[in-house]
Structures are given as C-alpha cells and as structure tokens.
A and B are shown apart, each in its own frame.
Chain A
C-alpha cells in the first residue's frame, strides 16, 4: 500500500475517533455550567449533586478528547507536509489562535474547576465552568474556520513559481477567512449537534436510573427534564441548520450534494432518492426508490428547480480543472448522508416525546420506551461521525476544494515511508482501541454508580 492510502486511513481513524469525544465535550460543558449556575442561584444541594455527577462523566470524556486532539495538531505536518507547505500561510493561523484563545482557557480553568471546589467562592467556581465551556466551543469555532477554508476557500491568493505552477496559497484577507460563509453554517451545526449529543447522553443515563429506581430520583428526573429540552433544541436546530448548510453546499460544492443524493444526471424538477443501489463505475442506478420533485423542494424551497447531477458536474470540472476524476465515493457519501439525516430526524421525535412525558411528570416509562431511550444514545454518535464522513469524503478528490488535490498533499516518500505510516496507523489504532475499552468501562462505571456515589478511596 502506498503512503497516500495509509495516510488517509490514519487521518480517518484518528479524526473520527477524536470526534467521538468532542461533541459531548462541547454540549456537556455548557450543560454542567447550567447546572452549576442553578446550584449557585437556588442553593439546592440536588443541583450540586447533578453538577458533580455529570461533571465527573464530562471529565472522563474530556481527557480522551484532549489527548486525541494532540495528534490532530501534529498530523498535518507528519503525513501531510505538502499540504502544510501549500496552505500553512492560511491554515496555521486559526490553529495557532485556537491553541492560544481556546486550549489555554479550557485546560487552565478546568484544572481550577476540578481542584477548586473548596478554594473558590461558589460563584467564581461556576464561572470557571463557563470559561471551560466557552473555551471548548471557541476551539470548535477556530478549527472549523480552518476546515471551512478546505471546504470553501476564502480570502486567499495563489502564488506561482517561475514555471507557472501554483506552489502555495497565501492569506490575502484574514477577515474573509474568519467570516467565510461556510463557517457560519458549519459552526452552528457542530455546536448544536454537540448540544444534542450531550442531551441524549443525559437522557439515556437518567432513564437508566429512573428505570432502576436508583436513590436520588429527584436528581435524575430534573436531569431528564432539562436534558430533554436541551436535546430537542439542539437537534432541531442541528437539523434546520444542516438543511441550510446543504443548500449552501449546492452553491459551493454541488458535486458533494450530487454524490450525497446519488443523482447521476441533472434533473428539473429533481427527485429525491429514498433508497438507491447504484453502480459507481457506470454511474447509474441498479435499483432506486425516488420521490418526484422532493429534492428540488429541499434544495430551493420550491416545487421545481435544477439540481445538477454527477455527470454534468464532472464534465464541467474536467473543463475547469483539467482531465481527471472529480467524483467522490458515491456510496459512502450517499449512505453517510442518509444515516446522519435519519438519526437526526429520529432524535427530533424521540426528544419531543420525552419532553411531552416528563413535563407532565410522567416518569413511569414502559419497558419499550426505556429500551429506545437507552439505544438512542448511539444516534448522536452515528450522526456526528457520518456527518464528518460526508463533509470530508464528499469533498474528494480535493483536500482544499478547487485548489489542491489530496494526492498532492501527502508527505513525499523521501521524507515519510509507507512503512512509517503503516507503523503509526497500527499503533494509533491499537492504542485508541484499548483506550476506548477503558473509557467506556469508566463511563459506564461512573454512570451506573450515580449521583450519590462518593469515592471510597477518599478517606
């Protein structure tokens, strides 16, 4: 196998893994901060127990997010040195700003939060959790500003060498980079997905304790009430903003949309595929169920409108960028899109139903509902992962859309050998695999132990 394939696998494995932990950090940091604020405001001990309980789970998850994030910071240089040289003038800036503005904030104040229960005033202590939440979410902002440049390059100029080849992209306008329209559909989508993830995390664990009739029902019922609303707001916004994001994508990366819809040929009005088995080589359907006009409606909020198909866009790109295959892996794009949307819509209904029950204080859940609520914890994780798979795989063959292809971004073989990348891929996978087992074990242990558990090692 060559360096390119291995490097792509490593990026996929390490990034998806990293993003198992990130959304929960984003959403749960805010959730815990809200609970602690409620404690400060009301002085009720139940909110303190809730803060500590969800806070502990937050910490276990946070640690994994931090350590897997370190790899992300250096991986561009390791495996993607040509990329780093090409876009470093632009891409490095948001990364450095992320560290300076966000990482310092979240890690420093989290240290204070963990150790500061007895040393700070209640108000100041709650404030440190808010700073952690702000830090985490600011970090998402800056990394998405960086990612948005890859999706929709803005504020740059290209520099050519004597032979007329493009050698690097340079920053022409910092504010165009920051206010890239793509940032402002992607960032809210990620944040609200994080809120939804945390909401469903809390729903599932609270449901478990309500089902088991654990001690401290008050805490779980309160948690469930808050989290169902929290999850509903998060997932509803995530779906709506995601919809806007896809409409935006029609303009900036129509190929990604066409692949996500498995739309081979341009249609007007365009039909929406509910289920397609296709032939990627021949670019045609083998079997498909399609709803007439629905894709046009989704794309333009109108019963007709042209949605361009893969073949058309391919032809245009050959003219624009020269010969080559500009079609991303269609099956992966198509199915990841459907899984994400399906999971998102399910989550809207589930959280709405939970709100409907708990706001009328009905906690006597039927076994089938308990089962669904416990299982629904997988939904946000499915949606988060498939969302990123669509965003990144659907952009191929580009690493920076329209500017640099993935195959030209990888570290050259003289610097990094396939054997080295294979070594790192195996070791990361192995270590990550073991840590996943450990992390799930600890999360489960502390989730089941509940709010009344006090560490028995604390003499």
Chain B
C-alpha cells in the first residue's frame, strides 16, 4: 500500500480511537452536574474517568502530531483556518484538564461547583465542536489556490455543521451515560441507565438528520453510491440496538454498540473524504489531498516504522490500565479526585 494512504488510514484510526475513548469521558463530564447532585456522588462520577481521561486525550495530541508529520499542509490549513473554533476547543480542554486535578482539592462548595461547571463546559464544547469540524471538512470549506482557508469563523456554523455538532454531542452523551452505567453502582447506576434510555432517541434523530443533511450538503452519496456498503449501515444498526440492550440491562454490550457507532461513523466520514483531507468549496482542484498535503516518502517511511513499533505497545499498556481499573466505582471505593 502507498504510504500516503497508510497515513490517511492511521490518522483516521487515531481520530476513531480518540472519539471512542474520549467520547465517553466527554459524555460523563457533560452529564456530571445533572446526574449527580451531592458531592460524594459527583466525586464518584469524576473518578470513573479519573484514571483514563488524560491517556484518552493523548490520542488527540498524537493525531495532531501525526497530521503535522504526515500531512503538514492539512495541519497548517485546518488549524489556521478553523482558528477561533480551535481556540475555543483549546480553552475548553485547558479548563477541563485542570478541573479534574483541582476540583476536590478544596472543600469550599463554591470552588467545587465552579470546577464542576468547568468540567461541563470543557466537555460540552469539544463534544459539539468535533461534529461541527468533521461536518465542515466533508462538506467543504472555502480554501483558495494557496491552500489557505478564507472563510472566517461564522462560515463554519452552517446548518449542516451544526447538525453534525449535535449528532456528535448526543452520541458522546449516550456513550458516556452507558459508560457510567457500567462503572457505577446502586443509585448512580440506575440514573445513568435512565439517562441513556432518554438520550437514545434524540441521538438517533440527530444522527439521522446528519445523514440526510449529508445527502444535500456533501458528495458522500454520489461518491459512495446509494448502497454505501456495510460500514455506514453497521453504524446505524449498532446505534439502533442500544435501546434494546439497555432495556435488557446488557450495558456492556450497549457500550460496545455506541462505541461501534462512533467507530463506523468516523470511518464512514473518512471513507467519504478519501483521498482528500480537506475539501475546498471554491474549486475541487483546490482541495487538499493525501498527495498535495503530504510529507515526503522518506518522512512517511520513518514515521511508519515508528508507528508500527509503538502503536501496538501503547495499545497494550492502555488496555492494561482499563483491565487494572475494571471494577465499578462504589460507595466504598477510595476516591482520588
């Protein structure tokens, strides 16, 4: 396989992994103020993701680094172009990251409440913006012949992109609620189940609207054809199955299914994108592709070797963490955060 394609796939894998993993901890962060009212249960909610969130976030940093290394023009055009959106995302991630560490380090109720809301905002904004970003990438944005984005901030907030934002927001919320249901006990567990069941229908609706919007706003359907293949269909089927699994208290399976929805949806978007990495709405010839945005074959080769050695190692020890901390967070669990 050509290395440019390999790196397109690797970056897609990194984003897919990132959405799968960080998706549930965004969801948990957003649900926090609503699902848990007293301090002890809030701390339990935060501690379900306490061990994992930082490791999950590195998936994004690695994806960003991989974009820079493999497709510098993609990195340069997208992050200079989506400037204010990225700024919002970065500020959100900053307050979110310190909120985990700082929240329970002072007993003042106002202090704690403030950080809880920081966790909420810091999770809400990225959960929404990722959908907005992906929708814009696939829909096409004004990119000129010099690979510069010339559209400004509000151009990104079109109806299709906002639908994408709501779809990702709700999908992550659902994913997070089911994760909480898996990782807590008693009352919290029950509440998480109720939230998941309530969230399922709006998630399905927004995902559906996103797909329908895609028919009008993007060239996904003309490119993939009316029979898009198994992957998008799997994305839909796995999302539909969630409600039945939850009703039968099979939350482990339900979690896998929302995870698969995220995985298959992300793959679908990247499939629709390939071989482009950023679509120009001004002229298809101005689109950034895996060829005109890429690094040299030499750099790609070096990076491929590094990735082939270290990605499996990282996957191995991250999986081990999830295994070590597989137990539910209950009333007797020692809480760190």
The interface size of chain A toward B, counting residues with CB under 8 Å, comes to: 75
Q: Is A60 interfacial (CB 8 A cutoff)? A: yes
Which residues of B sit under 8 angstroms from A170, Cβ to Cβ?
Answer: 295-296, 298-299
Q: Is B253 interfacial (CB 8 A cutoff)? A: no
* One of A79, A100, A420 near B65 (C-beta < 8 A): A100
Tell me the residues in window 421-452 of chain A with beta carbons closer than 8 Å to chain B beta carbons: 423-424, 427-428, 431, 435, 438-439, 442, 445-446
Tell me the residues in window 211-251 of chain B with beta carbons closer than 8 Å to chain A beta carbons: none
| Contact A59 to B101, CB < 8 A, known contacts A95-B65, A445-B106 | yes
* One of A63, A91, A455 near B101 (C-beta < 8 A): A63
Cα distance A12–B79 when bound, in Å?
19
Pairwise interchain contact B98-A64, C-beta atoms closer than 8 A = yes
| Contact A103 to B80, CB < 8 A, known contacts A92-B68, A427-B87, A442-B102 | no
Pairwise interchain contact A93-B64, C-beta atoms closer than 8 A = no
Q: Is A261 interfacial (CB 8 A cutoff)? A: no
Which residues of A sit under 8 angstroms from B83, Cβ to Cβ?
Answer: 78, 415-416, 420, 424
Q: Which of B40, B95, B96, B321 has the most CB of A within 10 A?
A: B321
Which residues of B sit under 8 angstroms from A100, Cβ to Cβ?
Answer: 62, 65, 306-307, 310-311, 314
Pairwise interchain contact A416-B324, C-beta atoms closer than 8 A = no
- Residue in chain B with minimal CB distance to A77: B79
Cα distance A428–B86 when bound, in Å?
13
Q: Which of B64, B95, B100 has the most CB of A within 10 A?
A: B64
Q: Is B51 interfacial (CB 8 A cutoff)? A: yes
| Contact A91 to B68, CB < 8 A, known contacts A79-B80, A114-B50, A457-B107 | yes
State which of B52-60, B129-137, B189-197, B260-268 sits at the interface with chain A: B52-60
Cα distance A445–B108 when bound, in Å?
13
State which of B30-38, B144-152, B163-171 sits at the interface with chain A: B144-152
Pairwise interchain contact A101-B310, C-beta atoms closer than 8 A = yes
Q: Which of B96, B98, B146, B311 has the most CB of A within 10 A?
A: B98
Q: Is B302 interfacial (CB 8 A cutoff)? A: yes
The interface size of chain B toward A, counting residues with CB under 8 Å, comes to: 74
Cα distance A68–B64 when bound, in Å?
15
Cα distance A412–B317 when bound, in Å?
42
| Contact A107 to B76, CB < 8 A, known contacts A63-B97, A91-B68, A424-B87 | no
Pairwise interchain contact A68-B72, C-beta atoms closer than 8 A = no
Tell me the number of A-to-B contacts counted with CB atoms below 8 Å: 231
Which residues of B sit under 8 angstroms from A98, Cβ to Cβ?
Answer: 65
Cα distance A21–B114 when bound, in Å?
24
Tell me the residues in window 48-84 of chain A with beta carbons closer than 8 Å to chain B beta carbons: 59-60, 62-64, 66-68, 70-71, 73-74, 76-79, 81-82, 84
A170 to chain B, nearest CB (A): 5
Which residues of B sit under 8 angstroms from A92, Cβ to Cβ?
Answer: 65, 67-70, 72, 75, 295, 299
Pairwise interchain contact A81-B76, C-beta atoms closer than 8 A = yes
| Contact A85 to B298, CB < 8 A, known contacts A95-B65, A457-B104 | no
Interface residue ranges, A against B (CB under 8 Å): 59-60, 62-64, 66-68, 70-71, 73-74, 76-79, 81-82, 84-85, 87-93, 95-101, 103-105, 107-112, 114-116, 118-120, 170-172, 174, 411-412, 414-416, 420, 423-424, 427-428, 431, 435, 438-439, 442, 445-446, 455-459
Which 10 A-B residue pairs are closest in the complex by CB-CB distance? Answer: A88-B72, A77-B79, A92-B69, A92-B68, A96-B65, A63-B101, A67-B97, A81-B80, A81-B76, A84-B76
Q: 17 new A-B pairs (CB below 8 Å) besides A171-B296, A455-B104?
A: A60-B101, A63-B97, A67-B93, A70-B57, A77-B78, A78-B79, A84-B68, A88-B76, A89-B295, A92-B67, A96-B68, A96-B303, A103-B62, A414-B146, A420-B84, A439-B98, A457-B39
Q: List 6 A-B contacts (CB under 8 A).
A: A67-B98, A76-B68, A91-B68, A100-B314, A111-B50, A119-B324
